[in-house]
Amino acid sequence: MGQGNIATEVAGQTVSGAEDGAPPQSHVTPQDSEQARNYGDEQSSPAASNEESISTKLDDHGVISQDSKVTASNGSISAELEAAINGLRNTSGVEADRYARKIAELSTHTAGNLDRVVVGKWEKDGGYVGEAKKNGGIWYETGPNFFSKLSEGLDELTIKEKAWNVNKQFLLMQLQRGVHRITLFGETIEAVKSFRARSYTALEIEFLDKNAGDYGYIRESNSWVKVK
């Protein structure tokens, strides 16, 4: 698939609503978790109410720069993020892609190593987020109340499609930036395909397998590595 022709649908799949007992990788907070468990397989950890959540943002030249904090000290989301969620919820096509990309920008986080993206299944005190925080990397994690705000007035399939679009835009930004490595943490690609074939992790794998080569990547074991 060409670089300018990335599909917006959920990769041709119907995503299971409650495969692993946790929601998709459009991450939620405790307020969202009960509802969001109905929508997918991974979810981000709650944002600590007294912590600043720092995102990274790509400029026009594909360079990461530090953005302002995404979550306020009281755990609320920023006005910029809320506006983007509202825009994504109420638009479609190219316009929706633009809002999804903005949410992805505001939901991109780093710890030390800007040459490594970590993806995978969310776990409360570990998973791909814990791995990136501990050993360095870039990860995708939305702010509090994201999922409940996105879900307002939408049917289940539309919610899944829009949530996946944000996740996809995160991956696309990393490919366009030319990050050295994107790594699946905690399980093998084969295990995901065998045991969680309808999960959002499986959608990430499918997206990367179909598109990473267009940006100079090859798959090595459980990673996609930039070679040209």
Beta bridge partners of 184: 119
Q: In this predicted model, what pLDDT tens digit does every residue of 48-89 receive, in sequence order?
A: 322 233 333 343 333 333 332 333 334 567 899 999 999 999
Q: In this predicted model, what pLDDT tens digit does every residue of 128-140 receive, in sequence order?
A: 999 999 999 999 9
Token pair recorded at residue 109: 């986080």
Query: Could you tell me which of 24, 70, 44, 58 has the C-alpha nearest to residue 162?
Result: 24
Largest CA distance in the chain: 44
Of the two residues 70 and 95, the one the predictor is more confident about is 95
Q: What are phi and psi of 129, to 5 degrees?
A: -65, -45
How far is it, in rounded angstroms, from Cα 153 to Cα 81?
A: 18
**Cα angle: 25, vertex 109, 122; to 5 degrees:** 30
Token pair recorded at residue 214: 């267009």
Element housing 84 (H / E): helix 79-90
In this structure, are residues 203 and 10 in contact, taking their beta carbons and an 8 Å threshold?
yes
Contacts of 171 (CB under 8 A, 6+ apart): 117, 119, 182, 204, 207, 208
In this structure, are residues 63 and 173 in contact, taking their beta carbons and an 8 Å threshold?
no
Contacts of 22 (CB under 8 A, 6+ apart): 33, 37, 40, 41, 42, 43, 122
How far is it, in rounded angstroms, from Cα 25 to Cα 44?
A: 7
In this structure, are residues 87 and 99 in contact, taking their beta carbons and an 8 Å threshold?
yes
Answer left, alpha or beta for residue 188, where phi above 0 means left and psi between -120 and 50 means alpha.
beta
Determine the 3-state secondary structure of 145 from DSSP. coil
Position 222 scores a pLDDT of 96
Q: In this predicted model, what pLDDT tens digit does every residue of 143-196 receive, in sequence order?
A: 778 999 999 999 999 999 999 999 999 999 999 999 999 999 999 999 999 999
Position 78 scores a pLDDT of 86
